[in-house]
Homo-oligomer: A and B are copies of this chain.
Amino acid sequence: MMVQVISSVNEACAAKFHHKTAIVIDVLRATSTIVAALSAGAASVLPAETVMDAKSLHRPGDLLGGERFCRRIAGFDLGNSPSEYNSDTVKGRKVILTTTNGTRAIHKSTRADHVIAASLLNAEACAEFALELKRDIIIMCAGSHDEFAIEDGLCAGLLLHHLRKPGDVFLETDDFGTAMESLYADNRDRMETILMNSASGKRLLKLGQKSDIACCARVNTLQEVPYLVGDVLVPRR
């Protein structure tokens, strides 16, 4: 099995996704929020590329969520903090979500045979599910502002760590994947510190959203695997 890792959404081209399982990562915060929403009982999450798309896709009973410049969008029900997506708010409902990087990364991955949304919260569950799908894997780090984001790279390394674990699979990766495995190995005991010191983390700290960073750093605490069916992500576990 070959596992390629893409450093940011900019580096993605459709041809790389054919016949593969795509695992999309945006740790701070889109994919963390998506798995939090599905774990809290949301029926599905529809990733929308633009605010206008999100509004036009909204039907009665749906929730509108998302951010621009790390802040909730005017008129939306929810922002992009995983903690907002609790059971009282989202249970049984469809969420239309638009964010700057993460939802764009999911849209870029749709040529793949399977698309999964991963975060630190559900990395182990995602790796197990991806192994069951028996396809080569392409891990896409969404990044931020068109650049590599270290928290997404850490999560790619964590995924590779769990993909290798069963031992019965001959797993190959590319140079960038090998580098991300080292990044994880060197920092596995201080994930939250790395997130706090990352470029995205510093932006969230400035906006008073420190608790979001801590929340997104809880490694392997959720079992839900958001899986793309048509245009929505639904939980697989």
Contact = CB atoms under 8 A, between A and B. Distances in A.
Interface stretch (A32-40, A65-73, A180-188): A180-188
Interface string A172-194: 00111011101101110000001
Interface in A143-180: 147-150, 153, 174-176, 178-180
Q: How many copies does the complex hold?
A: 2
A195 to B, nearest CB: 11
Interface string A187-210: 100000010011100000000000
Nearest to A7: B7
Chain A's interface size range is: 20 to 34
Interface of A: 7, 147-150, 153, 174-176, 178-180, 182-183, 185-187, 194, 197-199
14 contacts: A7-B148, A147-B176, A150-B176, A150-B178, A150-B179, A153-B179, A174-B199, A178-B197, A178-B198, A179-B179, A182-B186, A182-B187, A183-B183, A183-B186
